[in-house]
Amino acid sequence: MKTESNIRPSVEFEVEAIPKTPGRPCTVIFYDNIQGPLTRPAEGENAEGEEYFTFDRYEAQATYSEGLEGIIEENKEAWLAAAKKAEEDATAEEVRNTRNKLLEEIDWTQTIDAPISAKSRSELRTYRQQLRDITEQDGFPYEVEWPVRPTIEKADPDPADEALDVLIGEEDK
């Protein structure tokens, strides 16, 4: 994940284990693509520009053991690739969950008796397909362009429904 800090990471990775007890879970934090120092433009007359660094930060879960740092150092690329993949998978899962909630919110519009106009039904079908295609976008899962939900218009009253209301005495309610 892209991160900014006024402190430049001094290592490529670190093992976060408190306490450092063999067999206990720990987190390995990787720092990649470190850039800087960069300077933000100053705000105000007497202000100075702020110096900062950007970098990608990834986490991997591991089981702590003596010598873990050496094991990671020997296989750093594989560990980093696994951490990147774990983050990508987690981000993709979040996007899919959001997409699924958006689909669930409008599921009712696709039933044949949903009281919406034909135009709305058609626009919503297109919208639903755009949501299902989210995973095919070029920047997925990090750069997702969400489709805009169309307005739902009520259908004109069905004369058969109005006639039924009269027959069963519901027209006054």
In this predicted model, what pLDDT tens digit does every residue of 45-85 receive, in sequence order? 767 788 999 999 999 999 999 999 999 999 999 999 999 99
Burial of 80 (0-12, 13-18, 19+ CB in 10 A): buried
State pLDDT tens for residues 111-168: 888 888 889 999 999 999 999 999 999 999 999 999 999 999 988 776 556 665 666 6
Q: Retrieve residue 104's tokens.
A: 């669930």
Rounded to an integer, what distance in angstroms lies between the CA atom of residue 159 and that of residue 50? 69
Give the model's confidence band at 31: pLDDT under 50 very low, under 70 low, under 90 confident, else very high: very high
27 forms bridges with which residues in the sheet? 16, 61
